[in-house]
Amino acid sequence: MTTGYAYHEVFGWHDTSSAAGLFASDPAAGLQPFVHLENAETKRRLHELVVVSGLIDHLARIPTREATDEEILRVHTPSHLARIAAESELPKGGDAGDGISPFGHGGLAIARRAAGTVITCVDAVLDGAVDNAYALVRPPGHHAIAASGMGFCMFGNLAIAAAHAKAVRGVARIAVVDWDVHHGNGTQEAFWDDDSVFFASLHQWPFYPGSGGPGDGSSTTLNVPLAAGAGDEEVLGALERDVAPVLEAFDPDLLLVSAGFDAAAGDPIGGLRVSEEGFAALTARAGRICERLAFVLEGGYNTQTLPGLVGSVLAAR
Amino acid sequence: MTTGYAYHEVFGWHDTSSAAGLFASDPAAGLQPFVHLENAETKRRLHELVVVSGLIDHLARIPTREATDEEILRVHTPSHLARIAAESELPKGGDAGDGISPFGHGGLAIARRAAGTVITCVDAVLDGAVDNAYALVRPPGHHAIAASGMGFCMFGNLAIAAAHAKAVRGVARIAVVDWDVHHGNGTQEAFWDDDSVFFASLHQWPFYPGSGGPGDGSSTTLNVPLAAGAGDEEVLGALERDVAPVLEAFDPDLLLVSAGFDAAAGDPIGGLRVSEEGFAALTARAGRICERLAFVLEGGYNTQTLPGLVGSVLAAR
Amino acid sequence: MTTGYAYHEVFGWHDTSSAAGLFASDPAAGLQPFVHLENAETKRRLHELVVVSGLIDHLARIPTREATDEEILRVHTPSHLARIAAESELPKGGDAGDGISPFGHGGLAIARRAAGTVITCVDAVLDGAVDNAYALVRPPGHHAIAASGMGFCMFGNLAIAAAHAKAVRGVARIAVVDWDVHHGNGTQEAFWDDDSVFFASLHQWPFYPGSGGPGDGSSTTLNVPLAAGAGDEEVLGALERDVAPVLEAFDPDLLLVSAGFDAAAGDPIGGLRVSEEGFAALTARAGRICERLAFVLEGGYNTQTLPGLVGSVLAAR
Amino acid sequence: MTTGYAYHEVFGWHDTSSAAGLFASDPAAGLQPFVHLENAETKRRLHELVVVSGLIDHLARIPTREATDEEILRVHTPSHLARIAAESELPKGGDAGDGISPFGHGGLAIARRAAGTVITCVDAVLDGAVDNAYALVRPPGHHAIAASGMGFCMFGNLAIAAAHAKAVRGVARIAVVDWDVHHGNGTQEAFWDDDSVFFASLHQWPFYPGSGGPGDGSSTTLNVPLAAGAGDEEVLGALERDVAPVLEAFDPDLLLVSAGFDAAAGDPIGGLRVSEEGFAALTARAGRICERLAFVLEGGYNTQTLPGLVGSVLAAR
């Protein structure tokens, strides 16, 4: 089995500037400017781990590219794209829409590449060039809605790739599993009225962004809110009991996973407690839902190497 | 009411070097060197917040000083002190004893000052110069045992101050409350057989260092283990129900608090979820156990300003 | 002799955000975002050195305060102040005027404090509370012109204090020596037509900002351009030969020194090679020009402790 | 023409720990611990620039590997290798020999890879797989002598590759040009008595490590000391006048270049002032001495992207 892998060093140049935790800094309010929680090291360390551990030798590198206007506009409004493009020209860059999602000068090109890289990964899977693929991208995407970015996300990377798979590659049925600690509200919104894309999310609730609570669903939208403190047993159990049977019944041609490491124990934002073994089990279970699948990295705010994660990576060699 | 406050900039110079999360870095094992979790910013940001918020104008600065050999040896073995002293002369410094507690060249003097600063705070309270006091020190102390440092701690700062209060100031009865997320095993050990010092600890369990579980206690040792995920209600409830009545019955002449912010929600190490309001309530409750009290900062690994903490600080102005 | 000293921790919260060296970052042009050269550590390390070395025990702390509109407007245009005030309200802050001088949300209050702190130092000298004083402030000031900030400077800290000394304290004759590696164009401009303030500058030339070359002067403006590579001998020689006699003839009632450490050997921006002994000699020579004097820190971009600087500081104990 | 390029992410994991500028930190002496000048960002930023600029698309990636004992022992003593190997097992690692050259746990494997990567680059050139090659390695090597590391260097990377070229590939005549700002004392020592390797060095003098001054030479060793402050004209002139004719007369079969960016203007250690255009010209001139050549990166301590360097890189696309 061949697993594809895509990363570009420019993802580390996405400039989230300084912040005070989850808030904009404000000395008068006692909020010291510090490095933004969603900073380059959170993702770069994972890429370096893939390389240094030797896992890279067992992966097929997939090229990255920037998503085009046409591709982005399948999910987002022209005014959102235009606003990002305009602010990207400013010396200090701008904000994707909610005041906590800053980007630097030239940030548009990096956001285009994050979305485009999920497309190249999906294409590689659909072409059979690889059996499955992992897109290690930055900025993340699953909170971005049609008219705005939010929650550190600029464009809906996974949603854009799903829309591409439908529109260009003619994929009939697509399933999405989102196990980022936050509800994937943007992906949900993008396909709420679209019965050809089934969106299922496991996430801490009540929690940011507030959506995805009990009863928030549709015929092809399934939310499984989890209480703060839930660990492997609860998360794996929910995937096994509540999500997998429904998606298997949906019988997708392609499975996309919003795979956030912010559900990990020790993450400075999230309150779930998934272990590294838990992530490995989640990954293995997803592979049994649909053979053709691609993973997209969403959140993950720990800048320290998780030894267990390393163990998983080493075991995968 | 006058509150004393002690901090010295050299606490930011305690050099914990690089690490991979809680582990020593090891490239061959995929453990990338990174800044140690217990680094200068974790404590310096609190001092800067005290100053920038203006709280400092309402506090009485208490001088810091280095603890003497005699003071340290009331709690630690001569061989432990001698080993720290010897490794402190090495260009790269050494480790306090367990391999995850590094210190740099000259680290002995900083560790002496952390312990000595708790002594000056206790003396200021006993002298009536202040009503209570807060010692913002680094490195922390409550894991250090007689014969060794451990858990980022070099010397038992609070224990050394308690021993001083007994030996030099003739304080008859001392109570200790430890609400750091970890069990204060070192403080417990120091006074296990000493009925003049009552040690009570609220902490996550099972968790590092393993001690302090159900049934681990003595006539003047009380442990209240809490499950991961416990928040304000559980922690405050345990203080109110299980700890305060016992300590009030003990009728201490002095109360010392090992006040760790690693019990905070969002701490990258701890799994408790105490809010800023929760810490304020814990503090207020402690003040009703005994009027003469001093706080000693132990752990706390979030390097971001907590807005709620700021709120508490601003409210305290 | 009593030396005053003023520093406030909020100077470390002046948020210069990220940059690519001296330029705004621009991934498309290959300019990686990184920490701005004029960052908190460049000044905070000096304050910590003053404390940790024990020098602080020999200094009289002078309180800091924010400069008022009236004080700022003695030097700057209302529109400059209004623009800074407006951009200071933005979530990302703004730029002082030239695109390389960013500040964060709430930056106005910090810039006010930098200027106000030089005023309190000058007042302390004029009141005789101290013999001389050192204002360790951030952001720097000597490039800011009436209508704009520039070169990392928001307001002309020293110029505002000089204007205060004249207007409020009635000081008749003020001399300024500027040995920052860059020409103090803003200070020069502020007093070009004012014969009661004599401005003398030693600086690398040709260099940023371009002014201060041979022949650029007036009856009370003296520029001594120095070639890249000049060290103690050249800089001290120029002060002794070219500057000191002229200022002594001017017979000032107050001397203000723009003291930049960016003239130091090893500074990543400047090309002069002043040693720590050289700075000590410059300082001593300045003290013989006029007994009533205050120092204002301008630039200095080395974030590493200079052993020689430490030596000077230790010697001063 | 095909240019090879070798870099491995583990070079960023070489752990130089904390330091005070060029000195070991020492709080008692006022030397604050800070990030070591020779840190990961100094080299990683260059690799990321090569990728983000698109230059990577025009380069042939050359695999990296660890140098064997046999390869290292062609240049170093068994006791030096044994000492590095032993200290590499320690939790905190050790020091390469002079107290300012720290390495972390597992540092031996990284140092092996730095040396081995120069070998793979030289082999690729000798095999004709590429026309020339660039080894972006860390730690650097040219100060390491037979019995010890020094000056941030653990093993003599270039010297080991030259010894391999002679011993294994049978190359008869090898020339070395070293334009790092420091004298390449280790490389000089390795081949002082070997007339088949001609070592020529351009460097600041007097400067660290002290060797390479006027008259320090042999029949196949040429040192060209340059005064602090020398820029493009002096350095290029010295290469053209003093070095190139001698090496061309030597008629080498292979040219190795110790290419340090610490000769750049703005480097926080070096005092030369080579511009980016200057480095391009040095590189072009080296290529005319011998067609078969490989570059090895030595020092370079600026962690900021140099716009001119970017310009050179972009121009090379």
In this predicted structure, what is the pLDDT of residue C69?
Answer: 98
Taking phi first (over 0 means left), then psi (-120 to 50 degrees means alpha), and beta for anything else, what does residue C99 get?
A: left
Question: Considering chain A, what is the average pLDDT of its residues?
Answer: 92
Residue of C nearest to B48 (CA): C9
Distance from CA of C56 to the nearest CA of B (A): 11
With an 8 Å Cβ cutoff, are B304 and A273 in contact?
no
Question: pLDDT band for position C302 (50/70/90)?
Answer: confident
d(CA C32, CA B203) in angstroms, rounded, equals 44
> CA dist A29 to A37, C44, C105, D127, Å?
19, 21, 11, 64
> CA dist A272 to A38, A107, A225, Å?
18, 31, 11
Residues 233-272 (B) with a CB less than 8 A from some CB of C = none
Whether residue D130 is predicted with pLDDT greater than 80 in this model: the reply is yes
In this predicted structure, what is the pLDDT of residue A8?
Answer: 98
**Contacts A13 to C, Cβ<8 Å:** 25, 27, 32-33
In this predicted structure, what is the pLDDT of residue A317?
Answer: 42
What's the ipTM?
Answer: 0.92
Section C192-206 average pLDDT: 97
Q: Is C47 on the interface with B (CB under 8 A)?
A: yes
Residues 15-34 (D) with a CB less than 8 A from some CB of A = none
> CA dist D90 to A136, B22, D138, D140, D215, Å?
34, 17, 20, 22, 42
With an 8 Å Cβ cutoff, are A51 and D13 in contact?
no
d(CA A142, CA A145) in angstroms, rounded, equals 8
Question: Which listed residue (B36, B143, B183, B203) is catalytic?
Answer: B143
Q: What is the end-to-end Cα distance of chain B in Å, rounded?
A: 13
The answer to whether the beta carbons of residues C155 and C114 sit under 8 Å apart is: yes
What is the count of residue pairs from B and D with beta carbons less than 8 Å apart? 70
Choose among A13, A32, A92: nearest Cβ to C92: A92
Residue count of chain C: 317
d(CA A63, CA D56) in angstroms, rounded, equals 13
Which DSSP state fits C216?
-
d(CA D138, CA D37) in angstroms, rounded, equals 13
Question: Tens of pLDDT along A112-164?
Answer: 999 999 999 999 999 999 999 999 999 999 999 999 999 999 999 999 999 99
Q: What secondary structure, in 3-state letters, does chain A show?
A: CCEEEECCHHHHHCCCCEEECCECCEHHHCECCEECCCCHHHHHHHHHHHHHCCHHHHEEECCCCCCCHHHHHCCCCHHHHHHHHHHHCCCCCEECCCCCCEECCCHHHHHHHHHHHHHHHHHHHHCCCCCEEEECCCCCCCCCECCECECCECCCHHHHHHHHHHHCCCCCCEEEEECCCCCCHHHHHHCCCCCCEEEEEEEECCCCCCCCCCCCCECCEEEEEECCCCEHHHHHHHHHHHHHHHHHHHCCCEEEEEECHHHECCCCCCCCEECHHHHHHHHHHHHHHCCCEEEEECCCCCCCCCHHHHHHHHHHC
Whether residue A83 is predicted with pLDDT greater than 60 in this model: the reply is yes
Question: Tens of pLDDT along C161-182?
Answer: 999 999 999 999 999 999 999 9
pTM over 0.90: yes
d(CA D189, CA D203) in angstroms, rounded, equals 16
In this predicted structure, what is the pLDDT of residue B317?
Answer: 43
Look-up of token digits 């002994």: C277
Section D124-149 average pLDDT: 97
Whether residue C317 is predicted with pLDDT greater than 50 in this model: the reply is no
Q: Residue B41 corresponds to which tokens in the numbers above?
A: 């910013």
**Contacts D51 to A, Cβ<8 Å:** 8-10
With an 8 Å Cβ cutoff, are C53 and D31 in contact?
no
> CA dist A245 to A249, A289, A290, Å?
6, 8, 12
Q: Is A109 on the interface with C (CB under 8 A)?
A: yes
**Contacts D17 to B, Cβ<8 Å:** 17-18, 92
Residue of A nearest to B35 (CA): A304
Instruction: Check if B143 is active-site.
Output: yes
In this predicted structure, what is the pLDDT of residue D35?
Answer: 84
Whether residue D217 is predicted with pLDDT greater than 90 in this model: the reply is yes
Phi, psi of D21 (to 5 degrees): 60, -125
Burial label for D91, CB within 10 Å (0-12, 13-18, 19+), is middle
Question: Which listed residue (A8, A76, A143, A164) is catalytic?
Answer: A143
**Contacts D110 to B, Cβ<8 Å:** 27
* Greatest alpha-carbon span in chain B: 56
**Contacts C10 to A, Cβ<8 Å:** 27
Phi, psi of B156 (to 5 degrees): -80, 85
Neighbouring-strand partners of residue D226:
D204
In this predicted structure, what is the pLDDT of residue D317?
Answer: 43
Residue of A nearest to B37 (CA): A304
- Neighbouring residues of B210: CB distance < 8 A, sequence distance ≥ 6: B183
Instruction: Give C21 or D84, the one with higher predicted confidence.
Output: D84
Section A267-283 average pLDDT: 88
Whether residue D315 is predicted with pLDDT greater than 60 in this model: the reply is no
**Contacts C9 to B, Cβ<8 Å:** 47-48, 51-52
Instruction: Give me the helix-helix angle, A40-52 and A307-316, nearest 10°.
Output: 40
d(CA A297, CA A309) in angstroms, rounded, equals 15
With an 8 Å Cβ cutoff, are C48 and B13 in contact?
yes
Topology of the domain comprising C3-316: Arginase; Chain A (3.40.800)
Q: Which amino acid is at A112?
A: R
Q: Is A89 on the interface with C (CB under 8 A)?
A: no
Choose among D10, D13, D51: nearest Cβ to A9: D51
Per domain, the residue ranges of chain C are 3-316
Choose among A21, A49, A302: nearest Cβ to B30: A49
**Strand, helix or coil for residue C32:** coil
Q: Is A66 on the interface with C (CB under 8 A)?
A: no
The answer to whether the beta carbons of residues D258 and D187 sit under 8 Å apart is: yes
Which stretches of chain B score pLDDT less than 70?
A: 21-22, 303-317
Which DSSP state fits D273?
B
Distance from CA of B250 to the nearest CA of A (A): 35
- Chain-centroid distance of CA D245 in Å reads 23
The answer to whether the beta carbons of residues D183 and D223 sit under 8 Å apart is: yes
Distance from CA of D300 to the nearest CA of C (A): 12
The answer to whether the beta carbons of residues B296 and B161 sit under 8 Å apart is: yes
In this predicted structure, what is the pLDDT of residue D304?
Answer: 62
Look-up of token digits 């208490």: B62
Query: Which of A278-282, C118-122, C312-316, D55-59 is least confident?
Result: C312-316
d(CA C45, CA C51) in angstroms, rounded, equals 10
**Contacts D12 to A, Cβ<8 Å:** 48
d(CA D72, CA D155) in angstroms, rounded, equals 8
In this predicted structure, what is the pLDDT of residue B18?
Answer: 81
Helix then strand count (H, E) for chain D reads 10, 12
